[in-house]
Amino acid sequence: MGTVLELHGITKSFPGVLANDHINLSLEEGEIHALLGENGAGKTTLMNILYGLYKPDEGEILIRGEKVDIHGPNDAIARGIGMVHQHFMLVPVMTVTENVMLGVEPTRNGIFLDKAKVAKHIREISEQYGLEVDPDSYIGELPVGIQQRVEIIKVLYREANILILDEPTAVLTPQEVEGLFKILQTLIEKGKSIIFITHKLKEVMAVADRITVLRAGRTVGTVSPKEVNPEKLAAMMVGREVNLVVRKKPAQPKEAALEIKDLYVRDERKNMVVNGISFEVRKGEVLGIAGVQGNGQTELVYALTGLLPLESGEIRLLGRPVYHTSPRTIIERGVAHVPEDRLKHGLVLSFPLHDNLVLCNYYLPPFAKGISLQQTVIINNAEKLIKQFDVRTPNVYVNASTLSGGNQQKLIVAREFSRPIKLLIASQPTRGLDVGSIEYIHNRIIEKRDEGTAVLVVSSELDEIIALSDRIAVIYRGQIMEIVDAAKTSKEYLGLLMAGIQPSEAAKAAAKTKKETEVERVF
């Protein structure tokens, strides 16, 4: 046992931001060291410095007590550092073997790729670490969980001792997360050391040996999971006490606001991705759609908001059919849409805040009079809304692109929630947001529900779905596996459904006896 890696006083600034401010970190041999922090706390910047993608302004890196300079990924790899990126760095049209060998290709006769040799080596690694994968399959055909294994194999193939995993659980189902944690245990048993980057408290408590918390580019402290609890960690991350629980009264559902029957939708490449979905959302309740990303959720929401045509089936909104109806008409009937990609569909980034806040109704009085926009009214409206919805900005004239992710999301919420709405469709409403913003947006959504709005929440974060929903529909390959009562289900049960597995009757019974009144929100 010994210290394999030390970072001393790492400082890195980008124009206008101090991303890392004298950060210290040490990694012991055979430990899982969690690096915890909100988005924008500087975790990824720090790791990119360690991996040679950025050059630090100040500070030094020591590997096994020896000071090193890392100028690029090649240096990092040569010193035994391997990184599993949050967005997988795999070429989908190539095989596992080709992806693993890329960059360090062994050859026959000095010219031709020796794929057989690499495939053999991959099988050895698979066996040694319990990372089962077929070297000849194409990446694009593998589920994300397996793709992640390939990323880990890539790192092990390069004989790394220090593994950096950047938000490795973001794209996995709960069962896949379990599998990953087992793999991590095997890795440290074989003497590897791991830096595990995350913003999810539960995971940290489950696997980490030590936890270093970053906030706004500074080290807040390094603690052991034994001496802290999630509340304390959250407070360290955010810098204030955070309410980790969504408090809500039981729902009082009334008549249906949205009815969907046998809906089929094709995506832009003409593949049928929504395959016969039926459900209804009633006024005063939250229906959550749970599922791993890419199972038709996006297209379902697009169809409901008029962004994609229906292939067949029926959507009835407040009793009236929606068929070839324009997004504007749908908005005018009282639908609010918080889109999944706020940068692409939620805001016009190069517009000032005040214009972004009237994108739905700029053509109506009082914002428009005849053909002219009423600038004063628009600006007054904006000033009122940013105060009411706590959007942190110097003024309303700056472009939407200058805001942080959390404030951009609040801006969208301000625009959508300030109109008289009857149905709220929120897709990934808190993706990439910090704990404080998540708390805020969740409370607003529950508030809308209590006012009698029908709410449809789509999220790939199971914890978020459980926290917000009254009923949960699990979507898998464009079909609803089951609609369950949120109060009478468990994460494990939903996880099986999300993976397309119909749970056994026993699991069903076990889940249903369990009752949680307040759901813990975990990030």
Partner 1 sequence: MSKSTPRPIPPIQNRQRITIGISLLVVGLFMLLVFTRGTQPGQTATFGMNITATSKALTIPDLVLPVQPALYTFIVITVFLGAWQLARGVKSIGWLVGIVAFCFIAAFLIWATKEKSFNLVGMLSSTLGRATPIALAALCGVISERAAVTNIGIEGIMLIAAQTSVVSATITHNLYLGVIVALLTGGLVAGIHALLVIRFKVDQIISGTAINILGAGMTSFISSRYLEAHIDQLNNSGTFKIISIPVLSNIPILGPIFFENSPIVYIMLIIVAVMYVVLFYTPWGLRTRAVGEHPKAADTLGINVFLVRYINVIIGGMIAGLGGAYFTIGSVGRFDQNMTAGKGFIGLAAMIFGKWNPIGAFLSSLLFGFADSLQVKMQILSVPIPSSFLAMAPYIVTMIVLTGIVGRAIPPAADGQPYEKQ
Q: Could you give the 3-state DSSP secondary structure of residue 472?
A: strand
Query: CA 325, CA 323: separation in Å to the nearest integer?
Result: 5
Rounded CA separation 469/453 (Å): 13
CB-based contact 338:413 (threshold 8 Å): yes
The yes or no reply on residue 157 touching partner 1 (CB under 8 A) is no
Strands 218-223, 162-166: pairing kind: unpaired
398 binds partner 1 (CB under 8 A): no
Backbone phi, then psi, for 469, in 5-degree steps?
-80, 155
| Of residues 71 and 240, the one with the C-beta less far from partner 1 | 71
Q: What's the CA gap between 7 and 383, in Å, rounded? A: 44
Residue from 105, 124, 241, 451 touching partner 1 (CB under 8 A): that is 105
Identified binder of partner 1 from the candidate list 24, 55, 57, 92, rule CB under 8 A = 92
User: What number of chain residues touch partner 1 (CB under 8 A)?
Assistant: 40
Residue 417: phi and psi, rounded to 5, are -85, -15
Q: Which of 55, 57, 65, 91 binds partner 1 (CB under 8 A)?
A: 91
Output the CA–CA distances (angstroms, integers) from residue 132 to 198, 275, 280, in the order listed: 25, 31, 41
**Whether 37 contacts 213, CB under 8 Å:** yes
x/- binding map, residues 110-149, to partner 1, per CB under 8 A?
Answer: -xxx------------------------------------
Pairwise CA distance, residues 246 & 464, whole Å: 10
Point out which span in 87-95, 204-212, 409-417, 497-505 binds partner 1 (CB under 8 A).
Answer: 87-95
Query: Toward partner 1, which CB reaches closer, 313 or 500?
Result: 313
**For partner 1, which is the closer residue by CB, 250 or 319?**
319
Residues of this chain, 310-369, that bind partner 1 according to CB under 8 A? 311-314, 316, 321, 323
Task: Kindly tell me which residue out of 270, 344, 372, 394 binds partner 1, with binding defined by CB under 8 A.
Answer: 270
Q: Are 338 and 416 in contact (CB under 8 A)?
A: yes
> CB-wise, 98 or 439, nearer to partner 1?
98
Taking CB under 8 A as the criterion, the residue among 32, 41, 63, 77 binding partner 1 is 77
Q: Which is nearer to partner 1, 112 or 517 (CB)?
A: 112
Q: Which range touches partner 1 (CB under 8 A), out of 97-105, 212-220, 241-249, 430-438? A: 97-105
Joined tokens for residue 248: 């809500």
Min. distance of Cβ 144 from partner 1 in angstroms? 15
How far apart are CB 221 and partner 1 at their closest, in Å?
A: 29
C-alpha 417/C-alpha 435 separation (Å) is 21
Stretch in the footprint of partner 1 (CB under 8 A) among 103-111, 181-189, 352-360, 372-380: 103-111
Pure H helices in 200-314: 201-207, 230-238, 297-304
CB of 160 within 8 A of CB of 75?
no
- The reply on whether position 17 binds partner 1 by CB under 8 A is no
Interface pick for partner 1 out of 6, 209, 231, 259 (rule CB under 8 A): 259
Q: How many helices (H) and strands (E) does the chain have?
A: 17, 26
What is the sign of the dihedral through the CA atoms of 459, 464, 468 and 470? positive
Judged by the rule CB under 8 A, the positions of this chain that interact with partner 1 are 48, 51, 53-54, 72-74, 77, 83, 85, 89-94, 98-99, 101-105, 107, 111-113, 154, 259, 261-262, 264, 270, 311-314, 316, 321, 323
